[in-house]
Structure 1
Amino acid sequence: MFYAHSLPDEGKSRWQTLESHLSTVAKLAAERADRFDAGPWGEAAGLLHDLGKYTAPFQRRLEGSPERVDHSTAGAHIAIEKYSQLGHLLAYLIAGHHAGLANGRDIGERTPLQSRLEADLPPLDTVWQQEITLPRNLLPPAHFQQHRDRAFFQYAFLARMLFSCLVDADFVDTEAFYAVHEKGVPHARGGGPPLEVLRDALDKRLATFKADSDVNRLRGEILSHVRAQAELPPGRFSLTVPTGGGKTLASLAFALDHAIAHGMDRVIYVIPFTSIVEQNAAVFRDALGEHGEAAVLEHHSAFDGGNQRDRHSIDKLRRDSENWDAPIIVTTAVQFFESLFAAKTSRCRKLHNIAGSVVILDEAQTMPLPLLRPSVAALDELALNYRASVVLCTATQPALAETDDPERSFQGGFRGMRELAKCPNKLYRDLKRVSVRHIGTLGDETLRDELLATEQVLCIVNNRRHARALFESIADQPGAYHLTTSMYAVHRRRVLAEIRQVLEAGQPCRVISTSLIEAGVDVDFPRVLRAEAGLDSIAQAAGRCNREGRRNASDSEVAIFATGNDDWEPPPELKKFAQVTREALRHHGDDPLSLAAIEAYFRLLYWQQGPQELDKHGLLKLVEDGRIEGLPFDTLEQKFRMIENNQRAVIIPIDKDGIARAALKELAYAEGVGGIARKLQPYTVQVPQQGFTVLERVGAIAAVEPDKFGEQFMMLVNEDLYDEWLGLNWSEPTFMKAENLTW
């Protein structure tokens, strides 16, 4: 008898047999792969993944032997022998079902699949051939459509999807075996209200909205028209609705209707910023009433499951986050896209549940340019071969459609894109709330005068140093406020709450901010000043002007300006965006935020960048050149980084609510720190490595419990460096230049 898993201090009669484990994993993996017509592939992967356990050394290991045994590569060998070239796809995921997907050939640091296949392995006992029966043939899924320009990208994508099916099935069966032994029942997973129940709950909430103003009537018309498109076949969609048009709930309503109409399983809402994830998840929970908590899974780095009622709920939330087994997922673009290019088991495990889903990409224009082509290729592949519908939801559509007109086509973009909104140009005119003009180049004094000329004004600039200097120049004036990422998130939220109160009261309110305020922050100013940037950023800034539509558009100005002080120059990539904006405005200066202007801006931007700059690391070419035997899975994961993060987190324990200080004290006796880290995350400031080094060198920051956690938790100990108005200061020129720094 051969076994897959042992139990300490239990006889072998209680152990899990290898035949049972392989057959169960095969069944579970096949069920998951059936979501995209690849059930036989899932079955074969499940049957082969632990084939190396049919060896004497592995069985001795289960009995307590310390010897290490490679139990994964044997199944990869059999896959290649049995299924010819396409069996090589199976070999990647079978060999990597614990360690992760490796490169096919030696182009990275980890051991490639090729080297593993050449290593000596213990012989398999032939009993495996009596205990398992492999599917005869493996062909690409019946509906699999080949894209002429990215065939091997598609095979790599298929391998990653099958990998998700295998590792999730393996985890679930292994977890169930041990849970039944310990508790008598497997852990609770998945579930949640059916989509039909959620739609009914949403309908009930939407029925309470009143068409008591022109804007509310228009929101109702947008909602009705968008929902009427739900019967359209799954595929690629755009939803172009201006700020204030109600696109958040309209897109959710469409997604539920569309998923129900086509037998799809879940809605995945992909949002660019963590702060908006939290905001939208709260909106969805509220809109779904009593079902909101059970239906909406919020998955991002800062989410704290500790607000759940009990340990059982927290544990189930963690398990559902592992494979996105919930009706509505709200996540970040970083989590979503990096998972699509991941190689690690933990990141890939959710991928099969993206198949057969409605994916709403909110603020679609924020996809980073250096990764735009591979990002679009991945989204397109989901719609092409994985029964997903992809909706690009934004007021500023990023011109990603591939058409037969070479002057208006995005190479490798979305074919057959369908617009869900009725007459987007008319919607733009009907919801127009601001006037936009370029007011030229402003020096520091002139910009200060512009701020003081209006009692309520928001000024958005491109870097923290400029924001700080500008705030200090008006700090003695009534209603001066400053917002920057140098403040920890809870501090920023507190300042924003005060700003809203002051605005509502009609008192002086002059806010200097970096672009962070453009990320879905609900504020309403009569005038906004915006330093030159991309036209999409300017449109986001305009969403903070006359947001509630209480004033005439002609009385609500968004003024674009160039900075006259070279000290405040934006980084090179932002200068490119500003340059393209200036070119677009030459042709659309009379209405800079019109849909025609936005389309011209993105086409100019993509044309100036060129195909290479839209795939900075050449990932698509790397995959195509690798072919089946050389697919670069590990390299893709290393290179596909939406945020090039060379910053370090510093915990600011100067919180009025005492949460950060209490969490830091917990570290002294903590074993697992995931929950504590989530509590601390809103009390951190991200500091560039250079500034972090300076703070560390002069003793301004120190590690908390360094013997246990190293430098994982770095806390500000010189609290004089954190200012209530300016946030954390790490870059005073005198500090940076001094040879022997003192504070």
Structure 2
Amino acid sequence: MKFIAHIRESDGENQLLKAHLLEVKALAESYGAKIGVAHISGLAGLLHDMGKFTKAFVDYLIEAVAHPEAPPKRGSIDHSTAGGRLLYNEFHTGRIDRERGILAEVVGNAIISHHSYLHDYLNPDLESPYLRRVRDKEDIIDYDRSVALFFEQVMNKEEFQAYVDKAVLELRRFLSIPSSFSPEAKYMFLTKFVFSSLIDGDRTNTRRFEDQVSAEEESNPPAKELFQSYYDKLMAEVQTLASRPGSNSSINRLRSEMSEQCDKFADKSSGIYTLSIPTGGGKTLASLRYALKHAANNGKKHIIYVLPYTTIIEQNAAEVRRILQDEVHILEHHSNVAEEIDKDDELEDGFVNTSQKLKLAKDNWDSPVIFTTMVQFLNVFFAKGSRNIRRLHNLSEAVIIFDEVQKVPVSCVSLFNEALNFLKDYGHSSIVLCTATQPALDFVEHELHINPDAEMIQNLDQVIAEFKRVEIRDETLNGTYTNQELTDFIRNKLDEKRNLLIILNTKMVVKDLYQRLLIELPDMPVYHLSTSMCAAHRKQILNQIRVHLKNKEKIVCISTPLIEAGVDVSFECVIRSLAGLDSIAQAAGRCNRHGEDALQQVYVIDHAEENLKHLDEIRIGKDITKRMLVDLQRDADSHGGHLLSVQAMTFYFQKFYTDVQAQLNFPVSKLDVDMTELLFAGYPQNNYFQNYCLNYQKRPPLFLVNSYRTAAEHFQVIEDLTTSVIVPYEEGNEIIAELNGAERIEDFGRLMRKAQQYTINLYPHELQALDRSGGLERCFDGQILVLKDGAYNEEYGLDLENESWAGLQMF
């Protein structure tokens, strides 16, 4: 009989299982080759659906397609265990060769997990979910027959053994690469890379079959040629800037010199480097210049910008698109619009329903140029679910620029550092830490291995001095400010200044001050910015602000810290609520940004009404900055003589990381263990391994003992996990309507990328409040959430206080 992998929805055409296995193998090989593990990844592709070699699966698939409203019961068919069991039986029983045993565990875990997430080898209950599947599971239908058919139809036994031999050689070479990683850390990153290769290969092949598209139709232009053409366009832009009026100003000359230094630095070999251009120094174009030249000369496949806020993504991506004159090959990835349902979707494999369309949509970061967020980057390595990790292999052979890298969340510092070390040592990627406020990431236990002589800019202290455009005024000496007192302070400053930017630490005080100033300044434009507004909304407000600033009109803007990290605006005066020194420095970058005036002021105040109880990082940073301000009052030469010096920033971050040391390894309080231990620790550091040996008086029958799924289940970049919700702001309404009518997988992918501009991220208590008042709609099996009209305000975004709309939904 013919064994089937999938049945196409549009015409009922069958994809034969042999073809699917060999095609996924080829894709996985191409992904694995990036780090020298083509056959290890290919082995996962070859065996992942071996369990479909059964009459039971064919019958199930035909039944499921014929009756999609009532598919067979969950658990009735298991096709993902068989490939993992084959590897276990072949290489993990009897007289075990260590390398083949490890290979069986690494590849077998990827195979049995490809409809969910990687299994624990040992979990907190001292059990092995991995062994439970590959060794102990009893209801695997026709396993022996599946094995026989695989060797008969796909690859004979002799060819298979030769293929495994090549995979073993790759494993040996991978483990021999010099690095600071423990063996367990090497196995963890290898397993996740193989899993990424399998997931993307499987989904890509399935989507191409479903949408009837070929690899050739989807291929990008050759990377070297594309990046060289981009570089030529960028240099044309540089020449244009050099010929404009004012290009010979001191600041523009400095920008040009730093851009030239980045160009020359691109000739260096791959590594981890720093780019510490002062705020307003043109780091976006300078880093792009480095990235394009380095990528073209060193065979890199992707240039990836990782930024802290979506606001900067839109701004920077728009600027890069304009310069490179390309709307096709530049991807913005802000957030996962569709939430990934936490379930094993094995029973949906083989035919396409709405849930599967969302899963299969092209979402793998295969674009030449990508703009994304720090949250999305960290999720690729450490979050649960297959959508995120699918992108991991495309982080290799890349130039990755971390803009405003100081925004790495404290709990993620060690995980972030180890991910970057892996990409440098194994992934052949070049990393650029791009910020005026370099964090001391090489000062912590799991240190970042920054290259010697890593800084791209020469004579940095001199550059900072020549770039000085602002002075920090310490208003904390005058006591604390309430919003009413701050309103009076703002009114006084507006007698001297045309425009003011006020940055406060919490959305609540920002909104309250905004509402006060609307009353106090009725004849002046007053604007509000916060993450309660979707990206498209913030972009529109920023465009209006820029027009006022260009026309030298009176204007006030009140914002949360989202505006201070790279947003290209320049105010005459900035007021910043006391926070970490990096935040103060970044806020200063929004003042006199282009040196319009000789010197302007940034006032630092201590706000009395900000509730920082649950914002530990801001509170700790605020306390350190406050002590540094006292130091400067006592000794004007301390900390390099001013808060924006290299010495001040180094002191601040070393003190900050010392104060938060207990948080750096991502403590999982519910389990009383750090995530670094769950992922990286072997004997004797791994407590689960120790406890297993004590309890059972023997070692577990495994080479690997780490807890990948448990770690992923407890990982979240932001302490309170947020959920993306599409808002009914302008084009957001049209996107919602189109999503409801989309049929092709390609359409889902396009609309979800477009929807990123029209989403906000909500905390659990906000979702609960909206649920209670009927302000949310759930689409596509709950995977996409939509905000109803009245819950979104044209001034400040999400409006949980306005109840007038809720009742209208009833009519």
After TM superposition, the score normalised by the length of structure 1 is 0.84
**Residue 442 (str. 1) matches residue 442 (str. 2):** no
Measured against aligned partners, the alpha-carbon deviations of 1:572-593 in whole angstroms (never above 9, x if no partner) come to 4321110122234424283101
User: RMSD in angstroms over aligned alpha carbons?
Assistant: 3.7
| 8 A contact 1:437–1:558 mirrored in 2 | yes
Aligned counterparts, 1:257-336, within 5 A? 257-289=293-325, 292-301=326-335, 321-336=362-377
Picking from 494, 498, 509, the partner of 1:466 is 509
1:308 corresponds to which residue? none
**Residue 598 (str. 1) matches residue 644 (str. 2):** no
1:629 corresponds to which residue? 704
Structure 1 CA distance, aligned partners of 2:189 and 2:115? 19
What one-letter code is carried by the residue in structure 1 that aligns with 2:501?
A: L
| 8 A contact 1:3–1:17 mirrored in 2 | yes
Is the partner of 1:255 in helix, strand or coil?
helix
Picking from 615, 619, 643, the partner of 2:718 is 643
Deviates more, 1:511-520 or 1:679-688: 679-688
Of structures 1 and 2, the one scoring higher in RCO (CA 8 A, sep 6+) is 2
Picking from 388, 398, 405, the partner of 1:357 is 398
Structure 1 CA distance, aligned partners of 2:29 and 2:779? 46
Measured against aligned partners, the alpha-carbon deviations of 1:356-382 in whole angstroms (never above 9, x if no partner) come to 111111111111001111111111111
Deviation for aligned residue 1:337: 1.4
1:311 corresponds to which residue? none
1:123 corresponds to which residue? 143
Picking from 442, 445, 458, the partner of 1:422 is 458
Picking from 410, 419, 427, the partner of 1:386 is 427
Deviation for aligned residue 1:123: 2.9
Structure 1 CA distance, aligned partners of 2:312 and 2:337? 12
1:35 corresponds to which residue? 34
Aligned counterparts, 1:88-167, within 5 A? 88-107=105-124, 112-117=129-134, 118-120=136-138, 121=140, 122-125=142-145, 126-130=148-152, 131-132=155-156, 133-134=159-160, 135-137=163-165, 138-139=168-169, 140=171, 142=173, 144=175, 145=177, 147-148=179-180, 150-167=182-199
2:80 corresponds to which residue? 72
Structure 1 CA distance, aligned partners of 2:231 and 2:87? 44
**Residue 229 (str. 1) matches residue 228 (str. 2):** no
Deviation for aligned residue 1:228: 0.8
What one-letter code is carried by the residue in structure 1 that aligns with 2:137?
A: A
| 8 A contact 1:299–1:321 mirrored in 2 | no
Deviation for aligned residue 1:479: 2.5
Structure 2 CA distance, aligned partners of 1:383 and 1:608? 29
| 8 A contact 1:33–1:352 mirrored in 2 | yes
Structure 2 CA distance, aligned partners of 1:301 and 1:498? 25
Structure 2 CA distance, aligned partners of 1:690 and 1:143? 46
| 8 A contact 1:296–1:327 mirrored in 2 | yes
| 8 A contact 1:442–1:562 mirrored in 2 | yes
Aligned counterparts, 1:443-592, within 5 A? 443-444=481-482, 446-455=485-494, 456-475=499-518, 476-477=520-521, 478-479=523-524, 481-485=526-530, 486-553=532-599, 556-565=600-609, 571-585=615-629, 586=631, 587-588=638-639, 590-592=641-643
Is the partner of 1:270 in helix, strand or coil?
strand
Deviation for aligned residue 1:329: 1.5
| 8 A contact 2:51–2:82 mirrored in 1 | yes
Aligned residues: 700
**Structure 2 gaps, min length 5:** 65-71, 92-99, 339-356, 632-637, 669-673, 690-702, 804-811
What one-letter code is carried by the residue in structure 2 that aligns with 1:38?
A: V
Structure 2 CA distance, aligned partners of 1:98 and 1:648? 22
Is the partner of 1:552 in helix, strand or coil?
coil
What one-letter code is carried by the residue in structure 1 that aligns with 2:259?
A: L
Measured against aligned partners, the alpha-carbon deviations of 1:153-175 in whole angstroms (never above 9, x if no partner) come to 22111111111222222333344
Structure 2 CA distance, aligned partners of 1:559 and 1:239? 27
Picking from 243, 254, 266, the partner of 2:279 is 243
| 8 A contact 1:650–1:716 mirrored in 2 | no
| 8 A contact 1:54–1:124 mirrored in 2 | no
| 8 A contact 2:403–2:434 mirrored in 1 | yes
Deviates more, 1:372-381 or 1:684-693: 684-693
Assess, with a 3 A threshold, how the Cα gap between structure 1 residues 206 and 321 changes in structure 2: closer, same or farther.
farther
Structure 1 CA distance, aligned partners of 2:428 and 2:751? 39
| 8 A contact 2:361–2:749 mirrored in 1 | no
What one-letter code is carried by the residue in structure 2 that aligns with 1:359?
A: I
Measured against aligned partners, the alpha-carbon deviations of 1:364-416 in whole angstroms (never above 9, x if no partner) come to 11110011111111111110111111111111111112xxxxxx565432243
**Structure 1 gaps, min length 5:** 305-315, 402-407, 736-743
Structure 2 CA distance, aligned partners of 1:375 and 1:317? 28
Assess, with a 3 A threshold, how the Cα gap between structure 1 residues 26 and 688 changes in structure 2: closer, same or farther.
closer
What one-letter code is carried by the residue in structure 1 that aligns with 2:150?
A: W
Assess, with a 3 A threshold, how the Cα gap between structure 1 residues 146 and 112 changes in structure 2: closer, same or farther.
farther
Percent identity between the two aligned chains: 31
What one-letter code is carried by the residue in structure 2 that aligns with 1:454?
A: K
| 8 A contact 2:570–2:590 mirrored in 1 | yes
| 8 A contact 1:190–1:320 mirrored in 2 | no
Assess, with a 3 A threshold, how the Cα gap between structure 1 residues 712 and 662 changes in structure 2: closer, same or farther.
same
Is the partner of 2:433 in helix, strand or coil?
strand
What one-letter code is carried by the residue in structure 2 that aligns with 1:376?
A: N
Structure 2 CA distance, aligned partners of 1:46 and 1:567? 51
Structure 1 CA distance, aligned partners of 2:229 and 2:46? 37
| 8 A contact 1:229–1:420 mirrored in 2 | yes
Measured against aligned partners, the alpha-carbon deviations of 1:316-367 in whole angstroms (never above 9, x if no partner) come to 9998952222221111212221012245333222221211111111111111
What one-letter code is carried by the residue in structure 1 that aligns with 2:544?
A: E
Deviates more, 1:589-598 or 1:123-132: 123-132
Deviation for aligned residue 1:643: 2.4
Structure 1 CA distance, aligned partners of 2:798 and 2:61? 54
| 8 A contact 1:270–1:336 mirrored in 2 | yes
Deviation for aligned residue 1:487: 4.5
**Residue 412 (str. 1) matches residue 447 (str. 2):** yes
Deviates more, 1:334-343 or 1:385-394: 334-343
Deviation for aligned residue 1:683: 5.5
Structure 2 CA distance, aligned partners of 1:423 and 1:435? 21
Structure 2 CA distance, aligned partners of 1:298 and 1:108? 41
| 8 A contact 1:436–1:560 mirrored in 2 | yes
